[in-house]
A = this chain, B = another copy of it.
Amino acid sequence: MTITSSDLEVRTLGVCRIDSPLAVRLGARQTSQHYVDESDRVLFDDTLAMVTERGVAVDQLPGFEPAGPRRKIYFDPSKIRVGIVTCGGLCPGLNDVIRGIVLQLNLHYGVRRIIGFRNGYRGFIAKYGDPVMELTPDLVGDIDEQGGTILGTSRGGQDSEKIVDCLERMDVDVLFVIGGDGSMRGAMQIAQIAQKRDDNIAVVGIPKTIDNDIQYIDHSFGFQTAFGQAALSVHAAHVEATSAPNGVGLVKVMGRHSGFIACSAALAKGDADFVLIPEVPFELEGEHGFLACLRRKVAEHGHAVVVLAEGAGQEHLAGEAVSVDASGNVRLRDIGSLLRKRILDDFAAADLELNLRYFDPSYLIRSVPADPYDSMYCSRLAHAAVHAAMAGRTETVVGRWHGRYVHLPMQLITRGRSQVDPDGDLWLSVLEGTGQPLRFS
């Protein structure tokens, strides 16, 4: 998809006229460098091969608005009320983001009234009776030590009109939404309804996806922690496989549509012999099919480890029934069970011994606290989100692009999904690291 400058423009509630409290505090000492200049941009693409017209002037190229503090802000910190909500499945770092937002609002801007809505978008809807939570620096001080989210979460959307009713009723000026692409679509609706009603409510998102499948950001928060956890299972599979004659370790990891966790966990431990991801279809049968390759590997090396993204090989499950969860995600048919059975059958048919161990770490991966890197990353995303909201940005998410923290329109990141490029360098590294064939066919 071609990105144009207009794709990268973010919406602002209005003109920023209020001096930033930091600017006030620093007074004469302030240096311009601590503020983002309104004309700064971070180029969207920096690989020459991807710039369509090589001769184009550099300031004509599409660029992101950089994140960071502004000298003038839109909201008066002493008057506003801020809400935070976490939506969808757990992901390492949720509490770090909540903590970072609360501390930044409180310490840096002096905002005192911050509330958390409970259990995702349900928390705005009266009938569920979930009380809001006052969020203070003391309360959030150590929550980064815990996995999960202190606010609770739930899947699925709610009536956006009712959510805006609630925001009006509770005098919420700024809403931070931490959630996946479904939740960001919800957040867009909230922002747009608020706009229609002439409510000056800033809705700022921090995109969350354990699968790392959000486009136009370097990677999503919690992803490193997640694949680090997944790598533990890959290594356990390696230990099991090498401790038994003809041992095979089969590890199913997260990755509904994108194989980032599978690829990264496989590369992290260097223990994997095969990686199967949604982006690269594979044949099971035939001389060059997966089963024959696995059998040969085990015959040669005495053992093998297979890392499987949960969304891989859905084409082999075509006949099975499909259902949809509360968030509207299609429930995947279980490739893990299928593959396990097919491997068992295949070795049995060949009259070969097999010691197959199946690993499904699943929730163990997503409920851990953020590792130090993700903890830092979450803090910095939270800082960026607060600066964006205080400067009146709305329908905007914060992210990192080529190492810089930037603003992105919500519209942009809900358009598609990031996937492992079968012709790109990550997948090439996997092929190199595992030695598996270019394709199973």
Contacts and interface: CB of A to CB of B under 8 A. Distances in A.
Interface residues on A, range: 35 or more
Interface in A200-251: 218, 224, 227-228, 231-233, 235-237, 239-240, 242-245
A301 to B, nearest CB: 11
B372 A404 contact: no
A58 to B, nearest CB: 5
Contacts of A228: 371-373
Nearest to A422: B33
Interface string A41-62: 1110111110100111111010
A37 B49 contact: yes
Given A48-B58, A59-B54, A104 B145 contact: no
A268 B224 CA distance: 14
Given A42-B47, A119-B244, A405 B425 contact: yes
A334 to B, nearest CB: 13
A440 to B, nearest CB: 12
Contact of A142 (B48, B54, B146, B362): B146
Given A245-B119, A372-B231, A372-B265, A432 B47 contact: no
Interface stretch (A10-18, A148-156, A185-193): A148-156
Contacts of A55: 57-59
A265 B372 CA distance: 8
Given A145-B145, A218-B403, A380 B429 contact: yes
A268 B107 CA distance: 18
A54 B57 contact: yes
A397 interface: no
Interface of A: 26, 29, 31, 33-34, 37, 39-43, 45-49, 51, 54-59, 61, 63, 66, 68-69, 90, 96, 99-100, 103-104, 107-108, 119, 122, 128, 130, 142, 144-149, 152-154, 218, 224, 227-228, 231-233, 235-237, 239-240, 242-245, 264-265, 267-270, 355, 357, 359-364, 367-368, 371-373, 375-376, 379-380, 383, 402-405, 423-425, 428-429, 432-433, 435, 438-439
CB-based closest 5 A-B pairs: A33-B423, A268-B372, A228-B372, A43-B46, A402-B402
5 contacts: A42-B47, A55-B58, A227-B372, A236-B368, A239-B367
